[in-house]
Structures are given as C-alpha cells and as structure tokens.
Amino acid sequence: MKRNIALFCTIALAILLLATTVYGALTASKTVVSTGRIIASNVSIGVYSDSGCSHALSAINWGELEPGKSINFVLWINNSGTTNLTLTMETNGWSPSTASQGIMVNWNRQNTVLAPNQAINATITLTVSPSIDSNISIFSYNTTITGTNNV
C-alpha cells in the first residue's frame, strides 16, 4: 500500500512538473517600449473673390433678383493647411426667416476633397422661387463654408 502511495505521488509529481514545463514553454512575454511624436494637422481654408486668392471674400451682394430666376456667383477656396479637407456649405441666419422657404442656395463643391495648398473655384447658385412671398423684398443670410479633416 505504501508502495502504491509512493508510486502515485511520484506520478503526480511528474505530471505536475511536466505541466509546469509545458505551460512555461507556451507562455513567454517581452515588453517593447514604443515612442513617437504626434504632429498636429494645420486645418485652414480661405475664401476669395479671385483666382490668385489675394482678395478675401467677406460678403456676396446678389443685387436685384426676379422671382423664378437663378444667379451664379463664382468664388475661390484655398486650403492653406497641411491636410486634405472635405468641403461643405450651409446657410443660416435668414432675414426674414421665411426667405429661406422661397430662396434656394446650393453649390457645386459639396463634399469635394481639397488637397493642401490647392485652390479651386466654386459656383454658388441662388434661385428665387416663382411663388416667393411677395412681402419679401430684401433678404440676407449667412453662408458658411467648412473644410473638415476626416482622419
């Protein structure tokens, strides 16, 4: 009986040593230090009235418009940043607020990607509905052109 217990203990110890050796051989680790430097992207666009991008544009005067007519305005957008930008345009701040229901504004550069140091022309089209409220004689609104880095 003592011999059976001794044999059992020997076998158990051998299995334990084997399992420890196998487990130790299957798990190994090494720590590697990582370093780097983050370079911030410079995001900047300019809106200009000329192809040389030398005359900054701060306002568009659409002049006198007739119901049912459209008019185009060409401007230039320059990406003076260091990363690609996706262009979008939106309008807000309409005065009177009901003018936005009878005047549509769109452009030909929605979601255009502009590379660093690239300048492109954009055409904004303003269309007055034939059924615009006859009480609207003067209007104003804000146009916001945005360049977004989608990294």
Q: Is residue 110 situated within a structural domain?
A: yes
* Positions in the chain whose pLDDT score sits under 50: 38
Assign residue 42 a region: left if phi > 0, alpha if psi is -120 to 50, beta otherwise?
beta
pLDDT digits (tens, 9 = 90+) for 25-38: 566 666 665 555 54
Q: Is residue 125 situated within a structural domain?
A: yes
User: Which pLDDT score, from 0 to 100, does residue 43 have?
Assistant: 77
Q: Is residue 112 situated within a structural domain?
A: yes
Q: Is residue 63 situated within a structural domain?
A: yes
Q: For residue 97, give the CATH number of its domain.
A: 2.60.40
Tell me the DSSP string of 88-118: EEEEEEEESTTHHHHEEEEES-TT-EE-TT-
* Total number of domains constituting the chain: 1
Q: Is residue 34 situated within a structural domain?
A: no
Q: Is residue 67 situated within a structural domain?
A: yes
Tell the residue number behind the tokens 């040389």, with chain if given: 52
pTM for this structure? 0.72
Q: What is the residue range of 107's domain?
A: 45-148
User: Which pLDDT score, from 0 to 100, does residue 127 have?
Assistant: 95
Q: Is residue 14 situated within a structural domain?
A: no
